[in-house]
């Protein structure tokens, strides 16, 4: 394995500028010089990841400008299929979903784009970007040549890729390269026919001249199933101690092209209940320096992480949900603010490439609006007629979220106690069938919690005929590994004592619409103010409820409204 020496140096680049034919836009790989060629000139990208789906559209420009000012010449983004096709054949491409506008904006700002349209993206995103409705076919093998899966992929790519074609570099746009799948070598199927199918599909929609690539962990075993002839193999790794060794794994598959680290980790992801991940600036800058000194192309993952809005967070196995924040300890914070890491990274890039002069857009101003008292309006049980306007689905045995055609949030499972439980009686999920957390009440009195992988049994008491409610929360679908086929709800029977519970009423809950349109009318009955958190334990907890608070934006202060942070001191999940 040859040691890599810097190839696409600036000197060479400047010499070749004179010779280039500017009228023809091309983006290719030069085997002999081991680099990318942009319009026939050696080119090296220093890119950063930003997920438009994790940043409000209002702030896209602000974040992109900050990325440009850091000295990046490209950005990298995923496209989450489930974000754009929430129901089969129903597409969302407007407002915060307007990926074409995002790419155009990037172009106007003068940054190139490395596109990662999946269809699987991982990304700490619900089900790795695959739509939950794929699980309507229970035996589906995701990310394989399963015909049901391929048909859905084919249809989706047939909608997405034609939108991307005019945005390709060779067609006048900013997209220089397009990734096929994501870390496919880490998945168990190892199905080359699937990769070939994608390759063919990408070429048929994007043209033969599109530069397609794959990304896998920097280990030979991972590259084995993740790569395919005709797809340029790249690797991903964080601030490891031996950069040369990491790139050598790429060189074994790609002896002749550019070195590319498609995900150089600037920080790391978080899990519920764990401290926020931190990666030191020093580790990031020294590895970045070493990669750039080798002449490598680098994408910093993430450059700005952003937020998992709504229910878009994913989870890892053994089951651990990611939180709403996707801050990632990246150079720009979740709020888009400049950090010490940002300036340190900029200084490293400056050693290799020209960094734009002029002011860097400042962190957005924040305003402290003060304390807001929250008023408890209704528990979910009290608001059932609003949350579930079409009423429950009846079923002898429990049905999953997908079976009742609700994909996110909460579903209420209701039955009656078949016998007197005057002594504490174990209610159990013997097959770990609660996905992911159930808040249990009998006639509206909290009883306990069952939780996936954690709590399989809880005691309840109540009279025969009393209403047993389990409010089941989907905490996010697994986004990585074998078990992304992550069904939610009660996916197996529950037992009370020794008998299986039957005759369920299953209420799909449309919380989003309720919050948007009805919450205002919810005050008035049985309200009490809760400025202090209520006690919480597995046997004594408060049922999930809707709370509301008002605050005013003061007048007479210029530039309001401004961003703010919300804190819930002393509250719990």
Ligand X SMILES: *[C@@H]1O[C@H](CO)[C@@H](O)[C@H](O)[C@H]1NC(C)=O
Which residues are identified as catalytic? 183, 263
Q: Which is nearer to ligand X, 459 or 467 (CB)?
A: 459
Q: Which is nearer to ligand X, 423 or 559 (CB)?
A: 423
In the chain, the N- to C-terminal Cα span, in Å, equals: 52
Instruction: State in angstroms the smallest separation of the CB of 180 from ligand X.
Output: 21
Measured in whole angstroms, the distance separating CA 459 from the mean position of its chain's CA atoms is 36
Instruction: State in angstroms the smallest separation of the CB of 476 from ligand X.
Output: 16
Q: Which is nearer to ligand X, 118 or 398 (CB)?
A: 398
What are the C-alpha distances in Å from 198 to residues 89, 122, 133, 202, 330?
A: 20, 17, 21, 6, 31
- Written as one string, the DSSP assignment of 313-375 is B-EETTTEE--SB--TT-SB-TT--B-HHHHHHHHHHHTTSPPP-SPPPPPPPB-------EE
Say how many CA atoms lie within 13 Å of 327 toward its Cβ.
16
Q: Facing residues of 270 across strands? A: none
**Alpha carbons 460 and 462: distance in angstroms, whole number:** 7
Cα–Cα–Cα angle for 137, 143, 144, rounded to 5 degrees: 85
Q: Which is nearer to ligand X, 366 or 463 (CB)?
A: 463
Q: Which is nearer to ligand X, 403 or 542 (CB)?
A: 403
Q: Facing residues of 489 across strands? A: 400, 435
Instruction: State in angstroms the smallest separation of the CB of 497 from ligand X.
Output: 11
Instruction: State in angstroms the smallest separation of the CB of 456 from ligand X.
Output: 9
Instruction: State in angstroms the smallest separation of the CB of 535 from ligand X.
Output: 18
**Alpha carbons 313 and 183: distance in angstroms, whole number:** 19
**What SS3 string covers 136-185?**
HCCCCCCCCCCHHHHHHHHHHHHHHHHHHHHHEHHHCCCEEEEECCCCHH
Cα–Cα–Cα angle for 85, 87, 91, rounded to 5 degrees: 35
**Alpha carbons 233 and 261: distance in angstroms, whole number:** 10
Instruction: State in angstroms the smallest separation of the CB of 181 from ligand X.
Output: 17
**Alpha carbons 112 and 103: distance in angstroms, whole number:** 9
Contact residues for ligand X (CB under 6 A)?
138, 141, 242, 244-245, 248, 375, 397-398, 419-420, 424, 426, 457-459, 463-464, 482-483, 485, 487, 492-493, 500, 523, 548-550
Q: Which is nearer to ligand X, 92 or 502 (CB)?
A: 502
Instruction: State in angstroms the smallest separation of the CB of 428 from ligand X.
Output: 9
**Alpha carbons 507 and 519: distance in angstroms, whole number:** 19
CB 443 within 8 A of CB 475: no
Q: Which is nearer to ligand X, 111 or 152 (CB)?
A: 152
CB 478 within 8 A of CB 315: yes
Q: Which is nearer to ligand X, 53 or 437 (CB)?
A: 437
Question: How is residue 37 written in tokens?
Answer: 């060629």
Q: Left, alpha or beta for 204 (phi > 0: left; psi -120 to 50: alpha)?
A: alpha
Q: Which is nearer to ligand X, 276 or 454 (CB)?
A: 454
Instruction: State in angstroms the smallest separation of the CB of 38 from ligand X.
Output: 30
Residues in Cβ contact with 552 at an 8 Å cutoff, skipping those fewer than 6 apart: none
Instruction: State in angstroms the smallest separation of the CB of 205 from ligand X.
Output: 28
Instruction: State in angstroms the smallest separation of the CB of 59 from ligand X.
Output: 28
Q: Which is nearer to ligand X, 166 or 523 (CB)?
A: 523
Question: How is residue 414 written in tokens?
Answer: 């209701």
Closest by CA to 154, choosing from 231, 211, 85, is: 85
Alpha-helical (H) ranges within 339-435 are 340-350, 384-387
Task: Return the sign of the alpha-carbon dihedral for residues 543, 544, 546, 551.
Answer: positive
Question: How is residue 65 written in tokens?
Answer: 């400008």
Max CA-CA distance within the chain? Answer: 89
Instruction: State in angstroms the smallest separation of the CB of 487 from ligand X.
Output: 6
Q: Which is nearer to ligand X, 388 or 428 (CB)?
A: 428
CB 176 within 8 A of CB 234: no
CB 247 within 8 A of CB 296: yes
Residue recorded with tokens 């680049």: 13
- Written as one string, the DSSP assignment of 429-471 is -TT--EESEEEEEETTEEEEEEETTTB-EEEEEE-TTPEEEEE
């Amino acid at each position: 394995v040859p040691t890599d020496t810097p190839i696409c140096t600036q000197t060479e680049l400047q010499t070749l500028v004179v010779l280039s034919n500017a009228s023809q836009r091309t983006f290719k790989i030069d085997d002999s010089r081991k680099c990318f060629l942009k319009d026939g000139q050696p080119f090296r990208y220093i890119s950063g990841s930003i997920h438009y789906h994790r940043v409000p559209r209002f702030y896209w420009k602000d974040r992109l400008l900050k990325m440009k000012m850091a000295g990046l010449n490209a950005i990298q983004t995923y496209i989450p299929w489930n974000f754009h096709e929430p129901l089969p054949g129903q597409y969302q491409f407007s407002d915060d979903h307007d990926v074409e506008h995002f790419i155009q904006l990037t172009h106007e700002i003068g940054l190139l784009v490395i596109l990662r349209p999946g269809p699987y993206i991982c990304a700490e995103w619900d089900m790795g970007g695959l739509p939950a409705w794929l699980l309507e076919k229970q035996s589906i093998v995701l990310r394989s040549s399963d015909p049901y899966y391929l048909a859905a992929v084919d249809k989706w790519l047939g909608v997405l890729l034609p939108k991307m074609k005019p945005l390709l570099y060779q067609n006048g746009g900013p997209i220089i390269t397009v990734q096929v799948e994501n870390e496919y070598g880490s998945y168990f199927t190892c199905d080359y026919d699937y990769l070939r199918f994608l390759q063919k599909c990408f070429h048929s929609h994007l043209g033969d001249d599109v530069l397609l690539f794959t990304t896998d962990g920097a280990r030979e075993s991972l590259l084995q199933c993740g790569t395919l002839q005709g797809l340029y193999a790249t690797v991903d790794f964080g601030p490891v101690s031996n950069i040369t060794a990491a790139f050598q794994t790429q060189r074994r598959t790609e002896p002749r092209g550019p070195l590319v680290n498609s995900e150089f980790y600037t920080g790391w992801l978080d899990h519920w209940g764990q401290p926020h991940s931190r990666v030191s600036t020093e580790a990031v800058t020294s590895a970045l320096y070493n990669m750039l000194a080798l002449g490598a192309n680098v994408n910093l993952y993430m450059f700005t992480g952003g937020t998992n809005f709504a229910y878009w967070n994913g989870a890892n196995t053994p089951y651990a949900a990611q939180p709403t924040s996707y801050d990632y300890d990246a150079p720009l914070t979740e709020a888009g603010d400049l950090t010490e890491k940002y300036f340190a990274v900029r200084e490293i890039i400056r050693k290799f490439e020209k960094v734009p002069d002029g002011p860097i857009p400042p962190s957005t101003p924040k305003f402290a609006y003060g304390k807001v008292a929250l008023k408890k309006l209704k528990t979910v049980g009290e608001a059932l007629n609003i949350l579930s306007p079409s009423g429950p689905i009846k079923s002898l045995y429990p049905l999953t979220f997908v079976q009742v055609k609700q994909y996110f949030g909460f579903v209420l499972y209701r039955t009656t106690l078949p016998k007197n439980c005057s002594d504490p009686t174990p209610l159990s999920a013997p097959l770990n069938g609660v996905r992911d957390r159930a808040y249990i009440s009998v006639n509206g009195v909290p009883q306990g919690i069952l939780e996936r992988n954690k709590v399989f049994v809880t005691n309840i008491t109540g009279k025969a005929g009393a209403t047993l409610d389990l409010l089941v929360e989907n905490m996010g679908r697994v986004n990585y590994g074998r078990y992304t086929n992550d069904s939610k709800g009660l996916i197996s029977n529950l037992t009370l004592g020794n008998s299986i519970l039957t005759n369920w009423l299953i209420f799909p809950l449309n919380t989003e619409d309720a919050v948007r349109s009805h919450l205002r009318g919810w005050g008035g009955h049985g309200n009490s103010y809760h400025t202090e958190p209520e006690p919480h334990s597995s046997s004594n907890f408060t049922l999930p409820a809707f709370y509301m608070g008002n605050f005013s934006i003061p007048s007479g202060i210029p530039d309001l409204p401004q961003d703010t942070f919300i804190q819930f001191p002393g509250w719990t999940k």
